[in-house]
């Protein structure tokens, strides 16, 4: 773990903290081979890769209604209620994101312009199932699509060696409103959704988190379909002043670290006593962690940094562009005003990342590896397209005719200009 003053970070330290390269190049050729194989051989390629990577050969990939019913029976009733509560909050949050389906305004007398919002017809969601089941990701991917009005929502998630999917994930996908669920993981699942096979009809867009192979596949098929954004290991940046509780900060670092050995947790604090207290607290909490080996491996890449001021801490945060940003300071709303790049922000001492991961209603599918500089987290706009509209009367066209004709002729497009002149001669 890096423990330093912010202004004493070496160029190598900064490279480690700020670059966070996903490493797609290392797997790109292998993933490209899988994508091309699925494109050429369809379901048979899917069967081979599922047997190779998941240890089971499947003749049919689609989850049946009976399997979904069995999943509900297998999940504890209280856990189902938790999923339903989370689903309600996610639906309510994304419903607030809705914009007008159609709006128009008058540009000038006789000239009207506007926009029509149209949902995508089909979207695929990848729900990870490697080290653990992630039913929350099914909720996060499917619900906003359904709020947006997507008619066909496809979910792909890897099977276990018995050829089954976690009952929790199945129940969550069904609660969220998935129309089709497939036992399919990895790059082959992305290829199937993007290109289509005998049993899986292609979709228009693919969303959802995944490992490096899934991310590489999403990047490769972009063009055949749209994707949400590249995603790497999960990360949190915690900005804390002397008002923060070191137990809370250490707990949130460890919570992030338990995702994956490549996960990143960074604390930037203006309080030297707090920095020392966090460093002391971490080992005792690690001892209680169930995924201790993963946590310890992850924390080797993490950092506790001491900043001279809150402004310096926030400037570093904007350069870091974290997936999750916690503001554990006296006045988090004031600090929020200076935030320019973050996937999701958590204000105050009682708002851990885990709350947003599951139940506040905000979406946890977020840009990582600095992509928060240019991408938003998953939201309702990801599932719609916007069509511009214009309408003109004869008088309205006449008021703009001179400008249109001059600009068209300046570009050498005389037929464009003539399409206006011919109307003006009437």
pLDDT digits (tens, 9 = 90+) for 277-330: 999 999 999 988 888 899 898 888 889 999 999 999 999 999 999 999 999 999
The answer on 175 and 108 residing in a single domain is: yes
Which of 309, 344, 361 is where one domain is finished?
361
Q: Do 124 and 169 sit in the same domain of this protein?
A: yes
- Give the per-residue pLDDT at 131: 58
Q: Are residues 183 and 249 in the same domain?
A: no
pLDDT of residue 232: 83
Q: Note whether residue 375 is domain-resident.
A: no
152 pLDDT exceeds 70? yes
CA dihedral 322, 325, 331, 336 (to 10 degrees): 50
The residue among 203, 227, 251 that closes a domain is: 227
Does the pLDDT at position 183 exceed 70?
Answer: yes
Query: Do 245 and 127 reside in the same domain of the chain?
Result: no
Say if 59 falls within a structural domain. Answer: yes
| Among candidate residues 167, 202, 227, the one where a domain is terminated | 227
Residues 56 and 181 in one domain: yes
- Are 29 and 128 contained in the same domain? yes
Per-residue model confidence as pLDDT tens digits over 337-373: 999 999 999 999 999 999 999 999 999 999 999 999 9
Q: Tell me which residues are annotated as active site.
A: 323-324
Per-residue confidence (pLDDT) for residue 133, from 0 to 100: 81
Domain membership of residue 380 (yes or no) is no
**325 and 344 fall within a common domain:** yes
Looking at the structure, tell me whether residues 216 and 269 fall in a common domain: no
Checking if the pLDDT of 19 tops 80, the result is no
Whether the predicted pLDDT of 130 surpasses 70: no
Q: Are residues 189 and 123 in the same domain?
A: yes
Confidence check: pLDDT of 20 > 80: no
Say which residue, 131 or 322, is predicted with more confidence. 322
Domain shared by 98 and 223, yes or no: yes
In a domain, 382, yes or no: no
Residue 372 lies in a domain: no
Do 51 and 177 have their domain in common? yes
The 10s digit of each residue's pLDDT in 83-105 is 999 999 999 999 999 999 999 99
What is the per-residue pLDDT across 113-127, written as a single tens digit (0 to 9) for each?
999 999 999 999 999
Domain membership of residue 408 as a residue range: 393-424
Residue at 264 is within a domain: yes
Same domain for 260 and 352? yes
User: What's the CATH code of the domain at 294?
Assistant: 3.40.50.1980
What's the mean per-residue pLDDT of the chain? 94
- Separation of CA 253 from chain center: 20
Number of domains within the chain: 3
């Amino acid at each position: 773990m890096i423990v330093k003053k912010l202004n004493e970070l070496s160029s190598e330290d900064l490279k480690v903290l700020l670059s966070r390269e996903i490493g797609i190049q290392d797997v790109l050729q292998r993933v490209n081979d899988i994508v091309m194989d699925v494109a050429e051989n369809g379901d048979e390629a899917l069967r081979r890769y599922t047997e190779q990577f998941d240890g089971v050969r499947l003749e049919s990939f689609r989850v049946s209604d009976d399997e979904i019913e069995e999943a509900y029976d297998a999940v504890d009733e209280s856990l189902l209620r938790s999923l339903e509560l989370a689903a309600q909050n996610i639906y309510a949050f994304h419903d607030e994101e809705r914009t007008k389906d159609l709006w128009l305004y008058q540009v000038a007398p006789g000239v009207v312009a506007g926009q029509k919002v149209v949902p995508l017809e089909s979207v695929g969601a990848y729900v990870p199932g490697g080290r653990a089941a992630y039913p929350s990701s099914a909720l996060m991917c499917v619900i906003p699509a359904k709020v947006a009005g997507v008619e066909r929502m496809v979910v792909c998630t890897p099977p276990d060696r018995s050829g089954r999917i976690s009952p929790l994930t199945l129940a969550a996908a069904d609660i969220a409103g998935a129309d089709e669920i497939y036992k399919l993981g990895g790059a082959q699942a992305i290829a199937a959704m993007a290109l289509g096979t005998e049993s899986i009809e292609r979709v228009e867009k693919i969303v959802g988190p995944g490992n490096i192979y899934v991310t590489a596949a999403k990047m490769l098929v972009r063009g055949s379909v749209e994707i949400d954004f590249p995603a790497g290991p999960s990360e949190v940046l915690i900005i804390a002043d002397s008002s923060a509780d070191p137990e809370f900060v250490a707990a949130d670092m460890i919570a992030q670290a338990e995702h994956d050995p490549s996960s990143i947790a960074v604390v930037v604090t203006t309080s030297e006593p707090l920095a020392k207290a966090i460093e002391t607290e971490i080992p005792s909490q690690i001892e209680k962690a169930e995924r201790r080996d993963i946590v310890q491996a992850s924390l080797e890449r993490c950092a506790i940094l001491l900043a001279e001021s809150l402004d310096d801490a926030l400037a570093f945060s904007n350069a870091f562009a974290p997936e999750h940003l916690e503001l554990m300071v006296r006045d988090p709303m004031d600090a929020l005003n200076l935030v320019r790049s973050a996937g999701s922000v958590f204000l105050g001492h009682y708002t851990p990342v885990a709350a947003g991961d599951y139940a506040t209603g905000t979406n946890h599918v977020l840009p990582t590896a600095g992509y928060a500089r240019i991408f938003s987290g998953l939201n309702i706009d990801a599932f719609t397209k916007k069509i511009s509209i214009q309408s003109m009367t004869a008088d309205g066209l006449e008021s703009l005719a001179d400008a249109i004709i001059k600009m068209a002729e300046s570009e050498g497009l005389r037929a464009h200009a003539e399409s206006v002149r011919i109307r003006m001669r009437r």
